[in-house]
Structure 1
Amino acid sequence: MAKYNVFLHIGPATVTLDDELRSDLARAGLLLPDVGQGDLDRADLEIRRAHKSAGLRRRDVEGSWAKVGRRAFKLRSDAFISQPRFFRAQADQAALALDGLMGMRVHLLTSSPELPSAWTGLVKPHRVHVVADGIAAAVAGIAVREREARTRRKAWKLVA
């Protein structure tokens, strides 16, 4: 089975998932998992273990990130997820977040030129991308390059 790409935007800048961005991402072949902002907020609290500071119990947030990961996997397509507060995650928290995306090829997107060491050691260097302005255009370009590389690899396998 083909592995799909998931483009995980970890911030620190916030991305507004408006209709225009959704449309731009869709044109690039990227879908958004069917989860709401509340799901993503609870996922952040779960992964960063910050539920108490939000006045919640562990069981209130348990499984939130797994839900996001399952919904992304079920798309059977390349996906885009944005959770800007993940930028502040510690290494063990970043590893936990990546575990929730098992079975997908993770591309890390950050808007900071200073890459978060908690994340960069866990993702292959060529899959870490700094996107300053125009996230839709940047992600679309990365997605197209990845799709072309996948096509070349498949062609090589057919020839070999």
Structure 2
Amino acid sequence: MTTLKSTLHDDLTTAIKARDELRSATLRLTLAAIKTEEVAGKEARELSDGEVEKIIAREAKKRREAADAFEQAGRNAQAARERAEGEVLAEYLPQPLTDEELETLVAAAVAEARSVGDEGPKAMGAVMKIVNPRVAGRAEGGRVAAMVKKLLAG
């Protein structure tokens, strides 16, 4: 079985051979972040695909934030580079949920929370606990929280 990490390594080799500087630099940085995570803690360990996915998502988020910062500073070339790196990373992540898909998942979680007596704004934590594993990496936390608030209020 091919792991996500080995796929990244294979794609890095391909990018280097193709002299694709953007892709190879992005994959190198991501693999370095994965390696750092593997050796963090008391003993080195192999990360699961889910853990690797979280690191890729974190790296993609860093690229988005950096692109926004560069754009605000009027440094459009750097902003474009960060966005391009983010697009490379997005290829390794699950497809993000559409607003409709997210609303369906959150609505089900709200109904589940209500069935055990959690209602109104106080139910926020309970609903987030139910919905977070279901969205896992396919929607940003802020977007999920906003949808939960909207459906709890409505």
TM-score, structure 1 as length reference? 0.27
Structure number having the greater helix percentage? 2
> Which has the larger Rg?
2
Structure number having the greater strand percentage? 1
The structure whose RCO (Cα within 8 Å, separation 6+) is larger is 1
